[in-house]
């Protein structure tokens, strides 16, 4: 897990803003809406459990490059995915590890599939959590999620998205969880993208379907490595 932290000019400190996932020693995957626009300053913190306490496990990185998907839409939420290149390589140890991407295209998830979402977002008390939390939710079929009682196609939950929640409103992703991972059957399948009302059974969380973007992810990373090699040659 990665904590993407934004500099708060008023409090003169970095504060948790979004989640993310370390997919190799130099790259973090998160949601595009987390950093799009403006000249805000960000850090990535790895190995954290508590955001406020000192923990020797924490590794802190400046971001060298932010690469949102070129076709990301704030209006529809489509293509809400982004790569962050760290200034330095993360140290892999007992506290920090890589979460592997799916090996190939993951079949569409069956409704009712049990999944886990994690982050430091708002809890039932209405405040962000200082410690990393996780909750179990279930996949909801897109037809239901797009129905009049749910999102009513405003926005549309597309084939590039996963809809997941709890029919009794006991758990959900919430503000501050954006960019964090959705894992189903132990596989990293989704990125927290958007929702309307936290833990509302009729307004479940919507997640970017990671496997739909594997080509873009690996192509982007390879292109940056190629460019870096060429820069060194000159």
pLDDT of res. 234? 47
Q: Which of 33, 129, 173, 211 is catalytic?
A: 33
Q: How far is CA 226 from CA 22, 23, 38, 112, in A?
A: 21, 19, 28, 42
Helices marked H in the chain: 142-145, 214-233
pLDDT of res. 187? 95
pLDDT of res. 124? 75
* CB proximity list for 159: less than 8 A, separation 6 or greater: 108, 142, 209, 212
Q: Which of 3, 129, 173, 178 is catalytic?
A: 178
Which residue's entry shows tokens 């069956």?
110
pLDDT of res. 233? 46
Q: How far apart are CA 39 and CA 56, in angstroms?
A: 30
Of 57, 205, 78, residue with least CA distance to 132: 57
pLDDT of res. 27? 98
Q: Model pTM greater than 0.75?
A: yes
> What structural domains and CATH numbers belong to the chain?
2-98+214-229 (2.40.10.10), 114-212 (2.40.10.10)
Q: Which residues of the chain have pLDDT under 70?
A: 37-38, 228-234
33 an active-site residue?
A: yes
147 an active-site residue?
A: no
Whether the Cβ atoms of residue 84 and residue 30 lie closer than 8 Å to each other? yes
pLDDT of res. 228? 63
178 an active-site residue?
A: yes
Q: Which of 80, 166, 172, 177 is catalytic?
A: 80
Q: Is 197 helix (H, G, I), strand (E, B) or coil?
A: coil
Q: What is the pLDDT of residues 41-75, one digit of tens each?
A: 999 999 999 999 999 999 999 999 999 999 999 99
- Return left, alpha or beta for 35; rule: phi > 0 is left, psi -120 to 50 is alpha, else beta: alpha
Paired sense of beta strands 161-165 and 133-140, if any: antiparallel
């Amino acid at each position: 897990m990665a904590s993407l932290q934004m500099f708060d000019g008023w409090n003169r400190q970095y504060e948790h803003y979004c989640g993310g996932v370390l997919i190799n020693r130099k790259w973090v995957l998160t949601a595009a809406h987390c950093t799009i626009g403006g000249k805000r300053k960000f850090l990535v913190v790895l190995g954290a459990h508590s955001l406020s306490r000192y923990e020797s496990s924490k590794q802190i990185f400046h971001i060298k490059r932010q690469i949102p998907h070129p076709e990301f839409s704030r209006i529809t939420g489509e293509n809400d995915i982004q790569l962050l290149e760290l200034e330095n390589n993360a140290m892999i140890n007992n506290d920090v590890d890589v979460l592997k991407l799916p090996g190939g295209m993951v079949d569409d998830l069956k409704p009712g599939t049990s999944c886990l979402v994690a982050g430091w977002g708002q809890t039932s008390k209405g405040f962000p959590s200082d410690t990393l939390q996780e909750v179990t939710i279930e996949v909801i079929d897109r037809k239901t999620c797009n129905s009049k009682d749910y999102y009513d196609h405003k926005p549309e939950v597309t084939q590039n998205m996963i809809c997941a929640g709890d029919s009794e409103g006991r758990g959900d992703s919430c503000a501050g969880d954006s960019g964090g991972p959705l894992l189903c059957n132990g596989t990293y399948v989704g990125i927290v993208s958007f929702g309307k009302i936290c833990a509302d059974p009729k307004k479940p969380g919507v997640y970017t379907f990671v496997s739909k973007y594997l080509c873009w992810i690996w192509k982007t990373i390879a292109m940056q490595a190629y460019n870096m090699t060429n820069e060194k040659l000159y």
